Structure 1
């Protein structure tokens, strides 16, 4: 059986993919499909993708159908550097205003709604749009952008625009880290392809480890060539992210799911977070 691996087409997840031995994985009948998070979420849900770094919110919607690969995520203890609310007004003045939301996201869209609805107690009008900063702000007071779209906007925005890091806002109100993407596998694949999954998992871990050992330097050189930015910017950016999935991250993730359920964004309460084990069993948190 071919294992289809969804690969988020953003730089924030690159350390877990950069050093993969793709030739070896292709020989094992593993195929990679680059997608934005929203596309990958849909692919996992309809069975077109077997394994992927999906939005944490998408896992919450399908917690009983997916199992998470341990020690892998895209998380941050505070600032993220690529998830921003850009606003014409200070955030304190956004009550009863309108915000354009990127169509590329699920986790951060609902995280912003939780922050403004639960912590600020605002009533805000939202509209989902394609991620284009100028167009989003034509008829809206603020816009949410993520990933490389957000990074490019930071580099080019006017000083008259207010900018808020969503991860920083979450941390200020909860004291908890936030996990934005998790590595999930459809449960049907767990038993039928356990050997391939074990090798793929080890490759992800090896890539993450080597990225940190190399201090992200070869990867940053490649990123600068592709989309620009300074050495200092990218070094600071990757140092602010975590690719683990520790107890505090799981605590933050569970709190996020609790609030999403209370506010009606998740139809079902997330009963547990299931973590896969390479030793042919999984456990729940």
Structure 2
């Protein structure tokens, strides 16, 4: 199995979960992880260079993919998917969903995502528009930024990831410190972001929100 890995803070709980998951030693040893930003993993999955990954939600709508009800979700705000105010329009090359969401919401300006966006927003939120917050204002729905998709071995992934979204993943403090240092944030900021902002269970509201977003994005 070749699993795509996005090395952002918002997927840190998944990496810890997979590391601790009780797979047989031989099976775990045979698993490969390929790192990349969301847009790269979109391409890797499309060309079958990986078997499965959490990819951009708009990309996951392709008929060729099998999807699980696991992804990166946020309700009312996300802090890490932004449009910078008073700037020329530019896409973030790392993300397909966020660029499409900015278009759907008719937001010009520079799109910024991920750990860098989180740091910028926490430093001064007056300079940025939180796209999840604006989506909620307009629709009353949460937003699904990414979803787990695969091209094969869905049943195996389903078994492995079955308990992920329902489990309280405890991240060792030294790992939180490592990411905090890398991004130049406080550990408490990362804990707040993971504990209060991001969640992973795609339920009825999330599915409705995703359907609505994809429908609107296709019209642009």
Question: What TM-score do the two structures reach when normalised by structure 2?
Answer: 0.87
4+ residue segments displaced more than 6 Å: none
Match of 1:58 in 2: 59
How far apart, CA to CA, are the structure 1 residues paired with 2:24 and 2:117? Answer: 32
Q: Helix, strand or coil for the counterpart of 2:33?
A: strand
Q: How does 1:183-262 map to 2 (within 5 A)?
A: 183-186=148-151, 188-190=152-154, 194=155, 196-202=156-162, 205-206=163-164, 209-211=167-169, 214=170, 216=171, 218=173, 219-238=175-194, 239-262=196-219
Q: Deviations over 1:49-73 (max 9, x none)?
A: 111000001112x1x1111123x11
Asked whether the 8 Å contact 1:6–1:49 carries over to 2, the reply is yes
Bigger Rg, which one: 1
Q: How does 1:5-24 map to 2 (within 5 A)?
A: 5-21=3-19, 24=23
Please report how far the alpha carbon of residue 149 of structure 1 lies from its aligned counterpart in structure 2 after TM superposition.
2.2
Which runs of 5 or more structure 1 residues have no equivalent in the other structure?
Answer: 90-97, 118-123, 125-141, 264-285
Match of 1:181 in 2: 146
Match of 2:77 in 1: 79
Measured at CA, do residues 25 and 183 of structure 1 come closer, stay the same or move farther in structure 2, by a change above 3 Å?
Answer: farther
Measured at CA, do residues 233 and 101 of structure 1 come closer, stay the same or move farther in structure 2, by a change above 3 Å?
Answer: same
Q: Helix, strand or coil for the counterpart of 1:20?
A: helix
Asked whether the 8 Å contact 1:20–1:207 carries over to 2, the reply is no
Q: Deviations over 1:3-45 (max 9, x none)?
A: 1100112111221222323794773122111110000000011
Match of 1:37 in 2: 38
State the superposition RMSD in angstroms.
2.5
Which runs of 5 or more structure 2 residues have no equivalent in the other structure?
Answer: none
Q: Helix, strand or coil for the counterpart of 2:94?
A: coil
2:114 to 133, 137, 147: 147
How far apart, CA to CA, are the structure 2 residues paired with 1:19 and 1:6? Answer: 15
Question: What TM-score do the two structures reach when normalised by structure 1?
Answer: 0.68
How far apart, CA to CA, are the structure 2 residues paired with 1:42 and 1:227? Answer: 26
How far apart, CA to CA, are the structure 2 residues paired with 1:68 and 1:173? Answer: 27
Measured at CA, do residues 262 and 88 of structure 1 come closer, stay the same or move farther in structure 2, by a change above 3 Å?
Answer: closer
Match of 2:128 in 1: 163
Q: Helix, strand or coil for the counterpart of 2:141?
A: coil
Match of 1:107 in 2: 97
Measured at CA, do residues 172 and 80 of structure 1 come closer, stay the same or move farther in structure 2, by a change above 3 Å?
Answer: same
How far apart, CA to CA, are the structure 1 residues paired with 2:24 and 2:81? Answer: 32
